[in-house]
Structure 1
Amino acid sequence: MQERRDRPAAGRSRAVRLDEFGGPEVLDVREVPVPPVGPGQIRVRVAAAGLNPMDWVMTADADAAARFGLSLPAGFGTDYAGVVDQVGDGVTGFAAGDRVFGSALSRAVADFVVVESAGGIAANEAYRTPDAVDDRTAATLAIAGRTASAALALIRPGPHDTVLIGGAGGGVGVFAVQLARIAGARVIGTGSASSSGFLRDLGAEPVAYGEGLVDRVRALAPGGVTAALDLHGTETVRAARELGVPDGRICTIAAQVEGVSAANGANAAPGALEELARLVAAGDVRVPVAASFPVEQIRRAVELQAGRHVRGKVVVDL
């Protein structure tokens, strides 16, 4: 577990807040009251918060925020990991001192979060962190892990498949590649030329995105591609269709394409996060953390993550 930084005096805590919607420039670290714990809830003292594209997408403007039920003033970040600080009445599954991880919609970059102890509610949940998984790693799992699991469930990769994954080096991609490989599939992952070594380390065969993608994939897989995930936009969808992949075996997460299913992490199968954490603890899945920042540098952290060229995950330490 990483060393904790100084925190405010008892009864007060830090949280990232925004009083207007916009980019990283609207994010500030504020001193706020420690949130109270209600029946059936637990309060977690956060050690690390993992960033995801949805964090800055849903706080970019009022329309996007409204779709997620957010209003001003708002918090920021969803994935967290830390230690249970207090339990509410009726809680039986957790005790103070338990290490946990999960998600708290647009509230995670804070010294404390309060979530429902029952779990199973995407973006308002807690799960036990395996002893072999550190807090920074645990803080990367919830959103990206759920999304990768849900996407793979739609295309059902197996030992006889060759799967094309667009955006394979991103936050969801690092999980999707490894989980598809565990399922026995061959994986071809798109990325920049400089990311080829990173993708090979994950278990994917790298291919450069951009013009000529279809020809490059054909050269790598003359026997054909049987399934595809587009984790960035629509380029991989178009390539997959040209390569003969049926729409039923193509999935997106960041775009809507008629005839193609879009994965929603909230619809991941029950137990998906616990299984992912078990695989990480066993060393079967690794989580590349591209960078970590102290909470005081939240703007820098979001700028890096929002650039969409990060290989792996960005984490904020509290």
Structure 2
Amino acid sequence: MSRIYLDWNATAPLRPEARAAMADALDVIGNPSSVHAEGRAAKMLLERAREQLAEALGAAQSDIVFTSGATEAAALALAGRGLACAGIEHDCVRVWCDETLQAGRDGQVAPPDPASATLQLANSETGVIQTLPPGLAISDLTQGFGKIPFAFDWLGIRAGMVSAHKLGGPRGIGALVLAAGEDREALLRGGGQESGRRAGTENLAAIAGFAAAAAAAQRDLAGGMVERLAEMRDHLMDRLEIAEGITMFPGRDSPRLPQTLSILTPGWKGETQVMQMDLAGFAVSAGSACSSGKVRESGVLRAMGVAGQDAGCALRVSFGGTTTREDLDRFADAWLSARARWQGKQGR
């Protein structure tokens, strides 16, 4: 039987709209910074993509800075600011922050001083969605963009980060989004591209793919994708709860991304589960993919109060628009069978 990909939060399959836009952009030979006709054509394509992405984000075109991904966007947004954050944040955010905020067992965080804090919109491991407080300094929008509806201009934040490959665009391209009047000093200096905020010739093909994927994701949202995927997530959770109740679902009491399910079985290592499911034909993960290929205890779950080694016993299932209910049922059958074998070895 064919393999089933259930690790969309790590990277989503490339959307056909993105593939087509990238192929067209590769035929544009000019450098967007050149003044001749070919350069002007490249510049026109670049700004059209920026406008398309701005429309999908609900932001101003002039306030989007293209970067190599959300990690670089986080550095550009956060470097030298000394903001507070919680342990649920992605490592690329935590490295720039003072980890002084506390997350509840439901994954929610309430910064006492939002203007001095950064708080993600949605968590990649649990899917927990935050209610961003008014006046928040910065938010990592990466896992929410294209998966739940929002408009940057309505969030009331000063800056946000997004990434293409989480919503079906190419890898290696992202953006920093700035509120009106907000600016950042370039970390990469030289050519003065991106209005002086990020030097280096723009990756035109990737940018075109990013914009096309973002537009396609917004069409999916308008077409009821959230409701359909949330029903599938809840169906999978119901399937996995039918056996003896030793498995938990971190974040289940909070609003969550519609296509993300965290599955925690104390004592059964996430690494073991990932390997067993891989052999059974399913691509899943034990948490964030940004750990140099290593499976380790989840800092997110530790921050949510999951004790000791149990923080290393979670499995994440994430899916998307091409996933079917049958795919999830097949996964549930394989996982329940593996869990029964593990329970047998534990003498349970």
Regarding TM over 0.5, the answer is no
Q: Which has the larger radius of gyration?
A: 2
TM-score (norm 2): 0.27
Return the structure number with greater strand share: 1
| Higher relative contact order, structure no. (Cα contacts within 8 Å, ≥ 6 residues apart) | 2
Return the structure number with greater helix share: 2
TM-score (norm 1): 0.29
